[in-house]
A and B are shown apart, each in its own frame.
Chain A
């Protein structure tokens, strides 16, 4: 019996995988695998270069030459293009400089001071309880001298508001300590001659009076109607260590919804509209009513409309289909928040504003894989054929994972889309693609942590966190300490870092390890755990996850250190066995499709 060399090639959204096997009769021996970036959009002639180089690398690893190859098997892949957009849907506006709600790292003194706002150089003419307002250019020594002198004269100075980062310095020099809020950049806008309150909490605590509606009512002697009006102020100050509230005739803090356009969803014979600013839950609810989705459009002139149009345009360029024929087949909306500077704020206050992130996906039925197959055949001088449909081949490859049996479902966690496929007892398979995967997670992490650098967000997604506590040790996110024999580089000292294979890399954030970890896990859960359930429901018999027995995770994101756990948690309630694919008991979650192609070829010949 002669042994023939067969190479299975899986062209995916972001990677192209090749698997070399020596086939004799009905058995296949796997010799080597390789992985390269996919060239061009999946399912287009540009894939040829990537496919050829993956085959060559796999042969090199297997110690074989191109001339020995008999057949190259490609998957039937249809182009999937995804797009992302993010819309901020709320904004906080402070009017009449009513409130200073920023959190300086080092306020001074503690307690609550209620009085009238007076500029520091006008203290001589003031009387009664007074809050000193100190502008830019004042030195801390001079401020302390002035305040001490005023107290000496019998003036009741109850608190102070400073422009510079001087609060602790001033309080340390006062004979009678008072609460002081500092780093108020636009202190000149603080209304003078108004009743105001300054509160500073002890270290490790948050303010109690100004963040409470009745607290504000007591301080400013408000009637019930006025109390209703100030309740947004109290809410905006919750969780701060220090705050200033000035009572002005019509001062207010509002939390406004920004209209960002509508999304029109068509499917199941219905066309429904939903306002994007209604939030992710409302969008997904409307989407659920029009399943299966035929198309989605955004209002022209809005970000969402632009994003959906761009996805369409890209697909037109790739396939040559007219834009009018291209349909958006899935949308995923995720609630997130974006730190934004408050409008009307005096101290550069930052509030977490609500935002909606949208991922959309489009696929066509028009595949051009035959062109790729012909070009691969010409380049390698062998036969190249389309060996099977991606989803079916993935299931086939996944079935070689020890401990699995039909009915089996696979979840391919990719960069742009999450794909699910099912093989039932009768050997019938079905597959779906849903929008939202690794790219969306990176985007959510980047915006919630306000990271400018996409690479950093990607690193936060991929690697566990740690805090560099000295040049010789780090504390990992789970609390364990690791020592190093060689000192760490000085640019990571005292920073939150990602533990990349190249060593610790700093994350440009003031947040703690715990906060960054929470953001990362939440982003992964919102995208992958939600999508896993969504995609599996579409392939499961009768839409019930309880009908599934085995779920195998495949694709690059299945190698992530926590995504498989998050998905397993999400599926645990349905009595499903869920785990990471291990193709042929040795290949891990990669190469399922390439292996499935070879197996199908062997079985068919």
Chain B
């Protein structure tokens, strides 16, 4: 059996200011300023369309609702994720940087803490993003998921640090100081 593959593109359509919701069955996916535009893939070329598709799939498979927001005034992962968590009806959020670094956050936690952190962006692939979505949804349901196994590669730092720094600088340039987070609707189209 072979799997048919397809190229997909992701557009984030702004639908208005991000509001705090009260439905307890939602997970907020909060992305950084450069996510999907101008960046389109992570540090190891996983398309943003695939990242979002897998995260949303992981959440949907658990029967939980997902909502996406874009944070404009910071590119700090903890701040992005915590902003999402405070807006989330369940209090659970997934924070994402354009280069792929991810985090599961909860609104009652201190901003610099987290439920699960995936710090080595070069090691995150589609499967890991699916499991991040799945775990976040399980936290929202009050279940006790086993944490997603974090991979560790001693060589990731020396190999990727320079590229990560450049990507961070570029992302930093996309920050719009003072702009409030906006709710976005992800549109994934097949090429």
Q: Which residues of A contact B (CB under 8 A)?
A: 105-106, 119-121, 134-142, 165-169, 172, 469-472, 487, 490, 493-496, 508, 510
Contacts and interface: CB of A to CB of B under 8 A. Distances in A.
A436 B78 CA distance: 51
A487 B113 CA distance: 11
A471 B105 CA distance: 12
B143 A490 contact: no
B137 to A, nearest CB: 10
A142 B3 contact: yes
Given A121-B2, A136-B1, A472-B108, 7 more contacts: A165-B61, A168-B61, A471-B108, A487-B110, A493-B115, A494-B145, A508-B146
B134 A165 contact: yes
Contacts of A169: 57, 60-61
A472 B143 CA distance: 17
A494 B142 contact: yes
Interface string B134-152: 1000110011111000000
Nearest to A492: B144
A328 B6 CA distance: 70
23 contacts: A106-B61, A119-B1, A134-B1, A137-B1, A138-B3, A139-B4, A142-B4, A165-B61, A166-B57, A167-B61, A168-B61, A172-B60, A469-B142, A470-B108, A471-B108, A487-B109, A490-B106, A490-B114, A494-B138, A494-B139, A494-B142, A494-B144, A508-B146
A-B pairs, 4 with minimum CB distance? A471-B108, A135-B1, A137-B3, A168-B61
Contacts of B60: 168-169, 172
Contacts of A493: 106, 115, 139
Given A140-B57, A510-B144, A490 B109 contact: yes
B62 interface: yes
A169 B130 CA distance: 12
A166 B54 CA distance: 11
Interface string B1-16: 1111110000000000
B63 interface: yes
A165 B54 CA distance: 12
Contacts of B142: 469, 494
A134 B63 CA distance: 22
Give the dominant DSSP class at B's interface.
Answer: loop
B115 A490 contact: yes
Interface in B55-108: 57, 60-63, 91, 106, 108
Nearest to B91: A470
Interface of B: 1-6, 57, 60-63, 91, 106, 108-110, 113-115, 130, 134, 138-139, 142-146
A121 B144 contact: no
Contacts of B143: 494
Contacts of B61: 106, 165-169
A495 B135 CA distance: 13
B117 to A, nearest CB: 10
A590 B153 CA distance: 52
Given A137-B2, A142-B3, A487-B108, A495 B144 contact: yes
B108 A138 contact: no
B5 to A, nearest CB: 8
Contacts of A106: 61-63
B77 to A, nearest CB: 15
A169 B142 CA distance: 21
Contacts of A166: 57, 61
A172 B3 CA distance: 20
A105 B131 CA distance: 14
Contacts of B6: 141-142
A154 B108 CA distance: 53
Contacts of B57: 140, 166, 169
B187 to A, nearest CB: 14
Contact of B1 (A138, A172, A508): A138
B104 to A, nearest CB: 10
Given A168-B61, A493-B106, A510-B144, A139 B115 contact: no
A470 B108 CA distance: 8
Most chain A CB within a 10 A radius of its CB, from B57, B134, B139: B57
